[in-house]
Copies of this chain bind each other. A is one copy, B any other.
Amino acid sequence: MSAVIIDGKKIASEVKSELKIRIGSLKERNIIPQLAAVLVGENPASIQYVRMKTKACAKIGITSKTITLPNSISEKELLSVINDLNKDNDIHGILVQLPLPPHINQLKVNMAVDWAKDVDGFHPANLGRLLLGKPNFIPATPLGILELLNRSGNPPVGKHTVILGRGDLVGRPFSVLVSLKDKKANSTITLCHSATPDISVFTKQGDILICAMGKPESITGGMIKQGAVVIDAGTSAIDDPNSKKGYRIAGDVDFKSAVEVAGYITPVPGGVGPMTIAMVLANTVTAAEKLSGRYNG
């Protein structure tokens, strides 16, 4: 038997259709949601991610601008750029593309973004509100995974969700999000990481298995519970002589063996990735709604 493939692109486009309606309502009130992306340096992956996000904005009617800064920019100068964006009433969302150069303190930068415009959800106060179960902005990838589960007919309520990886961007915030007392969440969770002696003890117990380690194709069918929902948030570049570029993007899951055991599975690409972008858009629309005073937040 072969698992049902969860189509992240299709679900993301459902989300985007819903956003278009909300953007339409904003425009009737002469509010055009606007995202500012701050890009430091010339990391090709960062350039590509920012381009994907701004392109996705354009498609649904969010204005965006990209502020490109040299790798040599000082922390002080970067903070001043962010401060200007904070003060600009036409900007509703600010995202600072990671990683930042090593001479810049990422925590300081995250804290400099006005948390009412923090559409990445990386400001500690937004993360703290998540921990308190009173979220304001939730980081895009965890939020996208939660939507993916609920919209694919696999709500995590009452299930045992096993999460592999405790990174700031996916594993740890998702573990908090999916265990909140909320009708879309409410899951028992297990969080495994590099200090877990044998992850297969836990992976085999997961009704839902979230892979966010960045260890390409390391989770095989034999490690997965029969019928489990497997979400692969891994994205690693691995050598591939058959590809034109000489590499390909691989998830954490060995798809070939996993698809025979899982009940539902996301592909890489086309699973979590499109949902992450959709949630950046969703957070930007929400920011515009809140900042324009339509909702109290």
Chain A interface residues (CB < 8 Å from chain B): 107, 111, 123-134, 157-158, 166, 168, 172-173, 175-176, 179-181, 186-197, 202
Contact = CB atoms under 8 A, between A and B. Distances in A.
Contacts of A134: 107
Nearest to A107: B134
A46 to B, nearest CB: 20
A193 B176 contact: no
A143 to B, nearest CB: 15
Contact of A127 (B132, B186, B187): B132
Contacts of A133: 168, 172
Given A128-B131, A131-B168, A132-B168, 9 more contacts: A131-B131, A158-B195, A175-B191, A181-B193, A181-B195, A187-B195, A188-B191, A189-B189, A190-B190
Most chain B CB neighbours (cut-off 10 Å) among A158, A175, A192, A195: A195
A197 B187 CA distance: 10
A193 B187 CA distance: 9
Most chain B CB neighbours (cut-off 10 Å) among A127, A173, A202: A127
Q: A-B pairs with the 4 shortest C-beta distances?
A: A124-B128, A127-B128, A128-B128, A186-B195
A195 B125 CA distance: 27
A173 B131 contact: yes
Contacts of A132: 107, 124, 127, 168
A211 to B, nearest CB: 16
A158 B128 contact: no
A77 B179 CA distance: 35
Most chain B CB neighbours (cut-off 10 Å) among A158, A172, A194: A172
A120 B132 CA distance: 14
Given A125-B125, A129-B124, A131-B130, A179 B193 contact: yes
Contacts of A180: 166
Contacts of A126: 124, 128
A290 to B, nearest CB: 16
Given A127-B127, A129-B124, A188-B195, A179 B157 contact: no
Contacts of A192: 188
A133 B173 CA distance: 11
A107 B129 CA distance: 9
